[in-house]
Structure 1
Amino acid sequence: MDFIDTSRSPDELEERLRSKGQHLELKIRTLLSQMDQLNMMLQDKQRELEGLHSLLKERDELIRKQKADLSDLRKRSEQKGRMSRVALDSLNPDNPDALRIQVDHFIQEVDKAIKKLTE
């Protein structure tokens, strides 16, 4: 197979090679530019992911604190309910059922408020 084009003059061949070289150079520059743009987009997405990860960590920490606060609130509510029942029994031996109903209603309202906080 003959790779030398003998039908063209050396000047034509040189011009043709120069033209192909310029075309390839333009393609290379275009590809490099696209690669730079993709790298910038990738870096932006990476920063965005890091920000989202940070937000998720903050959210998880907030949820842990809220669960702990809720648990403490429930414990205090149960303790106050028990103390109220004991106090009612000792204060009003004639009608403890009426006062117990009021205390139970109060405890239910506290439980409803706690549930709303957890939603």
Structure 2
Amino acid sequence: MELSKGELMVMEALWEEECLDENGEIQALELSKFLKEKYGLGKTSCYTFFGRLLEKGAITRRYPKYTLKPIISREEALKNQQEEAIDLLFQGSLINVCQAFLRERKVSNEELQEMRDLIDSFDVEEK
């Protein structure tokens, strides 16, 4: 599930939970006011993002007062975004990811050793 910048702003507000009630919900009108105050988003833009998030299954809506609730966590969204980026930009290869980042920056001996230790800490895939 790829989220746009605006959709992520909405989700960040929901994940922070400061605007949610005791049931982890908020009315759409109240959320749009919160987002206008926090990010300067207009009401129409907010409702567009709400609709997209509903279609993507990131939030639920309950009537009669158009009450919204997040149903994916920040961690789930991050994992999905990472997987999509790796598939799209690096042909699904973690080797390509590492090569792209390591080509662009200098790595200290300590960092290199940490990477080796990290790799060694993973179980070897058996064939």
Band of TM-score, shorter chain: under 0.3
Please report the TM-score for the alignment, with normalisation by the length of structure 1. Answer: 0.23
Higher strand share goes to which structure? Answer: 2
Higher helix share goes to which structure? Answer: 1
Please report the TM-score for the alignment, with normalisation by the length of structure 2. Answer: 0.22
| Structure of greater Rg | 1
